[in-house]
Amino acid sequence: MSHYFTDNSDLKQNRKEVPFRFLDIEYVVHSDDGVFSKNGLDRGTEVLLKVVTNQELTGNVADLGSGIGVIGVILSSYFDINITGVDVNPRAVELANLNFKRYDVKGKNIVQDGLMGTFDAVISNPPIRVGKEKLYELFDSAYESLTRGGSFIFVMRKSHGAKSAQAKCIELFGNCELLKKDKGFYVYQAKKD
């Protein structure tokens, strides 16, 4: 079985343009089979973005588990930032780069497992289906890549382990604040001191 967090390059292409609305702005993104949330903006990402668009973002921002680049596309319309999206799915990364080009996003998407480099913020709707061990490796990479004072902001369903993810971030960062609860989705922020 093919998952959105795997290299599914052999899967038959079924490209399409998918419209969606976020805070009264219409977007149309390239999508395909074999990618996360192929039919539009998923609820978790929407909850996350409603919180993040009310934060202060500057500098270099990473989207960990970027999928087709929706987070980068939306955040670039709110902030003057440079976005690096990372994902292990080559199909998703190709689509994300097409979506960045369509919306003149400053940045790029790359096929990579975890983060490398230095970022002022890491934003993520993480791929929880990879399992807790791998998920926490991704959290480790977020911590390691953040500048001092940088933030890791992520969303997770309560039923998918949000509380244990918060505990992991407290272990890593020494803090992890719950910013919002919305119909079972929890948005957290951990700051690197």
Q: Residue-wise pLDDT tens for the chain (193 aa)?
A: 344 455 566 677 778 899 999 999 999 999 998 887 776 788 999 999 999 999 999 999 999 999 999 999 999 999 999 999 999 999 999 999 999 999 999 999 999 999 999 999 999 999 888 888 999 999 999 999 999 999 999 999 998 889 999 999 999 999 999 999 999 999 999 999 9
The DSSP secondary structure of 20-88, one letter per residue, reads EEETTEEEEEEE-TTSTTTTS--HHHHHHHHHHTTS---EEEEEET-TTSHHHHHHHTTS-EEEEEEES
Q: Are 71 and 63 in contact (CB under 8 A)?
A: yes
Q: Taking the CB of residue 171, how many other CB atoms lie within 10 A of it?
A: 12
